[in-house]
Amino acid sequence: MPKRRDVVRVAVAGASGYMGAELLRLLLGHPRITVTGVTSERLAGELLGRAYPHLRGLTELAFHDLDAEWLAGIADAVFLALPHLESQRVVPVLRRRGVRAIDLSADYRLRDPNDYVTWYKAPHTDLAGLAEAVYGLPELHRKAIASAPLVASPGCYPAGAILATAPLLKRGLARLDGIVVDGKSGVTGAGAQGRKIEPMYLYTEANENVQAYGIASHRHTPEIEQELGALAGAPLRVAFTPHLVPLNRGLFTTASVPLTTTLSTAELLGVYREAYAGEPFVRVLDEGERPTTRGVVGSNYCDVTVVADGRTGRAVCLSAIDNLGKGGAANGVQDLNIMFGWSERAGLEAPPVYP
């Protein structure tokens, strides 16, 4: 396990998107981090505070072109908030130079390289990095994250779905056929997109509207199946449908899970409390309480609950996260804290934003 460091130099590649901006909001207030560099292909040379006025006065950094060797020379750890398939160009250099990396794209999340051909229509170009990458959900892989040179932070939909259902799979209480996951995300889940805005994300299309997309084909599906299957000890299939809802940020998951035995809501909640006992960022709600996206926005929290549906023999599992928080940047900071032996709450102490 790497030695604990008091102050770590951190850079962010792809810092001009929503995920990168949220990372910087958290990192610039982190007590053990010095942010030493940020990159953006489209904003190279521009001051960070000019591109993102909410960070004005917190840093004098300017965006730099994406250069892996430059990043390796100025940082002890690098966050990669790049478009999918781009991190594979940078990570090999960081690994060779001994710089630890946390990738927020999908490039290192899937263990089987064939899945990249199936779901991303391109072969993986860094098989050595893929083999050593650790899936960065602390609630499942905390011990491995601590010593990992490369962490693949979960996608937002998988984070919500896995945390909503993991206790049932881990205890063998879920049947492996017929699991249905419904996810609803705010528009920041699509990223800042620059000039390539898809019509569904325009204000006039997203406001006062709910839309399903990626039906039976969303790229987060194999990620959910991979992690839940590992918990269950057997391969499984999940019917997953994502939806776009008119929120800036926030993600709500409803999962319907067939049970192997009849359990009451109180008994199911007992299973969840046991599974998440001591977890700093998972809050299991009391019977009758329901998660809301408003209750977690701006934070790394995941609020979860479960309700028994005795009529159908299923559990209805609910979770709420911030898609840029536990579904992205904040979870990545939690990973970094674990990797360097700090309190997992470092830089993440602030409560959710309300209203």
Reported as a single tens digit per residue, the pLDDT across 149-164 is 999 999 999 999 999 9
Kindly give, in sequence order, each residue whose CB lies less than 8 Å from that of residue 38, ignoring residues fewer than 6 positions away: 11, 12, 13, 15, 16, 20, 24, 48, 61, 62, 63, 64
Domain 157-321, CATH class in plain words: alpha beta
Strand, helix or coil at 204? helix
- 258-272: average pLDDT: 98
Catalytic (active-site) positions:
156
Confidence band (pLDDT; 50, 70, 90) for 1?
Answer: very low
Q: With the C-alpha atoms ordered 332, 25, 191, 194, is the resulting torsion angle positive or negative?
A: negative
Count, residues in the chain: 355
Same topology, domains 8-153+328-339 and 157-321? Answer is no
Does 202 score more than 90 pLDDT? no
320 beta partners: 252, 303
Q: How far apart are CA 68 and CA 66, in angstroms?
A: 7
Provide the residue ranges of all domains of the chain, joining segments of one domain with +.
8-153+328-339, 157-321
Q: 76, 61 in Cβ contact below 8 A?
A: no
The one-letter code for the residue type at 118 is T
Confidence band (pLDDT; 50, 70, 90) for 197?
Answer: low
Strand, helix or coil at 239? strand
- 239-262: average pLDDT: 97
Q: How far apart are CA 81 and CA 102, in angstroms?
A: 9
How do residues 5-53 score in pLDDT, each as one tens digit?
678 999 999 998 899 999 999 999 999 999 999 999 889 999 999 999 9
Does 195 score more than 60 pLDDT? no
Could you count the other beta carbons within 10 Å of the beta carbon of residue 55?
17
Q: 57, 32 in Cβ contact below 8 A?
A: no
- 139-155: average pLDDT: 98
pLDDT of res. 200: 76
pTM for the whole structure: 0.95
Share of the chain above pLDDT 70, in %: 96
241 beta partners: 182
Kindly give, in sequence order, each residue whose CB lies less than 8 Å from that of residue 84, ignoring residues fewer than 6 positions away: 105, 106, 107, 120
Instruction: For the chain, count helices (H), then strands (E).
Output: 12, 14
Q: Sort strands 150-152 and 8-13 into parallel, antiparallel or unpaired.
A: unpaired
Q: What is the mean pLDDT of the chain?
A: 94
pLDDT of res. 196: 59
- What is the CATH architecture of 8-153+328-339? 3-Layer(aba) Sandwich (3.40)
Kindly give, in sequence order, each residue whose CB lies less than 8 Å from that of residue 337, ignoring residues fewer than 6 positions away: 343, 344, 345, 346, 347, 348
Does 349 score more than 60 pLDDT? yes
How do residues 162-193 score in pLDDT, each as one tens digit?
999 999 999 999 999 999 999 999 998 765 54
pLDDT of res. 5: 62
Main-chain phi, psi angles of 47, to 5 degrees: -65, 140
How do residues 268-314 score in pLDDT, each as one tens digit?
999 999 999 999 999 999 999 999 999 999 999 999 999 999 999 99
Which of 54-63, 162-171, 184-193, 316-325 is least confident?
A: 184-193
pLDDT of res. 206: 85
Strand, helix or coil at 316? strand
pLDDT of res. 2: 47
pLDDT of res. 275: 98
